[in-house]
Amino acid sequence: MSIFTNLFNNMLKNVNDEGRVLTKRKYHLVQGHDPLGEGSYATVRLAYSTKLGREVAIKIIDRRKAPTDFLQRFLPRELEILPKLQHPHIVQV
């Protein structure tokens, strides 16, 4: 498992802890704002990054809703690809 998989696994252990986990990493969910997008087991929310000094989109995956094959095959692949992306609108991991 990559360091990114471990990071996200630790971040998403408990959905109730998402605000605390994000705050620890210098992100604050923007309150009173509807989700930017929703899927079967993930939600994209607006957050403010104190490190970057701007608003960012955060993808929050609910591991309790996600099927096992997604968690074992697709999530690790997504987490491996993310650091390789070079785009001005994607925060570097």
CA atoms of 43 and 27, how far apart (whole Å): 16
Choice between 2 and 74, residue whose per-residue pLDDT is larger: 74
What mean pLDDT comes out for the span 2-22? 58
Query: pLDDT digits over 27-86, tens only?
Result: 888 888 899 999 988 899 999 999 889 898 888 888 888 889 888 888 899 889 988 888
Q: What is the pLDDT, as a whole number, of residue 37? A: 93
Kindly list the structural domains of the chain, giving each domain's residue range(s) and its CATH number in brackets, ordered by start. Answer: 3-84 (3.30.200.20)
The pLDDT score that the predictor gives to residue 2 is: 58
